[in-house]
């Protein structure tokens, strides 16, 4: 009897084991799905950009003529709502099926012995306005004309009738040696100013569209705000995914929120590689600003702030990191810009903390020439579009910049005769004359 009892107990327990394991499997699958949904942000809705602007005739015209700014931005369904994946795809692949536009490289000697370079791409079609219009483009940190996202944007712009001039940040091109102990910094506008001066002199009839990506957005806005004469012949400016104030961004880059500290480490590592590739020019006998101790600190740096403090600020003689960030940030100059200005940011950009977005929003509330567009998704310079999995070669960002530029050119072409000094200041003049 005891044997039969044990035997029956075995038979009663055995069927429960698969059920228990099935439950564990279901729990594991549910957990994985929950993590995927949370990480990919699949439940997040899609929406048009949140726009901040003043009620002016020009702004209404621009939004009507550039409807993509008021329509829903729809990223790829499975991964496009993750700012991290958008940023990672931009960072690793740049763009999908990136074209190879043909350009000529120009070399400009600077007063301090440096040599600025930029690539010039002629238009592939007539511009819709019939005018000569040049895009002057400043890429992101450590970037240049050969980056995939730049190539994609240039190719799209050329086909729309724009000449494109793309700055190669000083020291960013691996095959171009530095000719002085200095490289690009967060807010130095010297090389960009030299490129713009060359374009104005070489193409005296050409109007300019100023475009800046990330760090490049800071540089172009600072350039336009530093001196009002820099805005001459400029139709408009577009800045995408910049942070506006390095001093305010400094604290956020040390936080683990949105893995920002990890991105900080990756960007610092990339900056180290660029600096060390020019070790001879920057730390050699011709350098009076760098010493061996700076090189030692560079090897141990794990953040952009450490590199900026030990290396970058010294290129322009700043006494402290705080002084460097204050003087090189466009937040102190951007209010001087009077040409139409489109500022674009993404709400899920892991590099730009949401607290920094009060700067462009407040500016757009106070200045009638500014439109601030904030998307729900897009990451940092991602803004990929697509149905489910595979993104389209052309991004929402590319379309917005060219669409906005086209609208500005259209406004300039059909403006009343009294308008002659740029879209914003001109509109104000006409309103004053009517009153």
Is residue 60 annotated as part of the catalytic site, yes or no? no
- Contact 110/194 with Cβ under 8 angstroms? yes
- DSSP secondary structure letter of residue 285: T
Half-sphere exposure of 293 (CA within 13 A, CB side): 3
| 327, two tokens | 């003087």
Is residue 355 annotated as part of the catalytic site, yes or no? no
- Contact 191/167 with Cβ under 8 angstroms? yes
Catalytic residue among 214, 239, 329, 346: 214
- Give the DSSP H/E element, type plus range, for residue 91: helix 83-92
Catalytic residue among 180, 380, 398, 424: 380
Catalytic residue among 119, 155, 349, 398: 349
Pairing mode, strands 115-121 and 104-109? antiparallel
| 336, two tokens | 């001087």
Is residue 132 annotated as part of the catalytic site, yes or no? no
- Alpha-carbon distance values, 68 to 47, 73, 129, 143, 353 (Å): 12, 8, 20, 27, 25
Phi-psi sector, 81: left (phi>0), alpha (psi -120 to 50), beta:
alpha
Asked whether the CA dihedral 292, 298, 301, 307 is positive or negative, the reply is positive
* Residues known to be catalytic: 214, 349, 380
């Amino acid at each position: 009897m005891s044997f039969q009892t044990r035997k029956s107990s075995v038979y009663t327990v055995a069927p429960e084991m698969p059920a228990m394991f099935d439950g564990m499997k279901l729990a594991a699958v549910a957990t994985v799905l929950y993590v995927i949904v949370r990480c990919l942000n699949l439940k997040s809705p899609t929406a048009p950009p949140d726009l901040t602007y003043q009620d002016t005739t020009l702004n209404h015209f621009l939004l009507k003529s550039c409807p993509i700014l008021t329509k829903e931005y729809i990223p790829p369904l499975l991964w496009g709502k993750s700012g991290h994946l958008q940023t990672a795809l931009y960072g690793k692949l740049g763009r999908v099926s990136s074209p190879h536009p043909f350009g000529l490289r120009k070399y400009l000697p600077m007063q301090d012995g440096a040599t600025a370079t930029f690539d010039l791409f002629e238009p592939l079609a007539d511009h819709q306005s019939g005018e000569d219009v040049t895009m002057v483009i400043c890429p992101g940190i450590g970037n240049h004309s050969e980056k995939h996202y730049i190539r994609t944007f240039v190719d799209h712009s050329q086909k729309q009738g724009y000449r494109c001039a793309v700055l190669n940040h000083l020291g960013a091109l691996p095959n171009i040696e530095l000719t002085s102990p200095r490289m690009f910094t967060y807010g130095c506008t010297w090389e960009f100013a030299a490129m713009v001066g060359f374009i104005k002199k070489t193409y005296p009839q050409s109007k300019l569209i100023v475009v800046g990506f990330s760090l490049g957005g800071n540089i172009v806005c600072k350039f336009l705000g530093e001196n009002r004469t820099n805005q001459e012949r400029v139709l408009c400016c577009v800045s995408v995914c910049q942070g506006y104030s390095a001093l305010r961004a400094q604290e956020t880059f040390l936080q683990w929120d949105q893995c920002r500290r990890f991105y900080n480490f990756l960007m610092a590592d990339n900056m180290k590689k660029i600096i060390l590739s020019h070790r001879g020019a920057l730390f050699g006998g011709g350098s009076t600003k760098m010493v061996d101790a700076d090189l030692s600190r560079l090897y141990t740096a794990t953040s952009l702030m450490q590199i900026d403090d030990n290396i970058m600020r010294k290129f322009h003689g700043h006494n402290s990191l705080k002084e460097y960030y204050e003087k090189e940030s466009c937040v102190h100059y951007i209010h001087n810009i009077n040409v139409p200005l489109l500022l674009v940011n993404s709400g899920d950009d892991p590099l730009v903390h949401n607290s920094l977005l009060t700067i462009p929003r407040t500016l757009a509330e106070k200045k009638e020439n500014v439109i601030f567009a904030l998307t729900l998704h897009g990451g940092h310079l991602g803004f990929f579009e697509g149905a489910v999995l595979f993104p389209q070669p052309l991004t929402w960002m590319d379309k917005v910049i060219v669409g906005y530029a086209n609208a500005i050119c259209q406004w300039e072409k059909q403006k009343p005769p009294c308008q002659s000094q740029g879209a914003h200041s001109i509109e104000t003049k006409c309103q004053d004359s009517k009153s």
